Homo-oligomer: A and B are copies of this chain.
Amino acid sequence: MRELTIAGLARAGGVGVETVRYYQRRGLLETPERLGSLGHGSGVRRYGEQDVSRLRFIRSAQAAGFTLEQIAELIALDATDDRTRARELAKERIAALDAKIAEMKAARDALSRLARACDDGSGGPCPIITAFEPS
């Protein structure tokens, strides 16, 4: 454990080094002490499994639509045991996610209709703008 340099951590999380540093600045990832090979405290930072899983969590939570600020709260929350708040945030996000998913499905269907209408075979119109009008 604690064997990765920042580049390794970034690779493991599928992000760039600068992004890791950015998350550190935002308080989403820790910035461990710089450890020299002889303990003189001015070496390089090392990261381990904890950090990798935290980084992956950040990416997943982003995919779930949480902002970085909310993710910071989730991480803080993970350390405490405030189940009530955790559930609250989860439920809020589930509702938002459900709404967004429905919206995207509707958009998907509109696009699907559009693609079919604009098939070269049919001689009909291919009206992009009206394709999104409430059908």
Q: Interface on A for B, CB 8 Å cutoff?
A: 53-54, 56-57, 60-61, 63-65, 74-75, 77-78, 81, 83-84, 86-87, 90-91, 93-94, 97-98, 100-101, 103-108, 110-112, 114-115, 118-120, 126-130, 132-133
Contact = CB atoms under 8 A, between A and B. Distances in A.
Contacts of A120: 83-84, 87
Contacts of A53: 129-130, 133
Given A53-B133, A104-B64, A133-B53, A97 B111 contact: yes
List the number of copies, as a whole number.
2
27 contacts: A53-B129, A53-B130, A60-B107, A60-B132, A61-B132, A63-B107, A64-B104, A64-B108, A64-B111, A64-B132, A74-B128, A74-B129, A75-B128, A78-B127, A78-B128, A84-B120, A86-B115, A86-B118, A87-B119, A90-B112, A90-B114, A94-B115, A97-B104, A98-B108, A100-B104, A101-B104, A104-B104
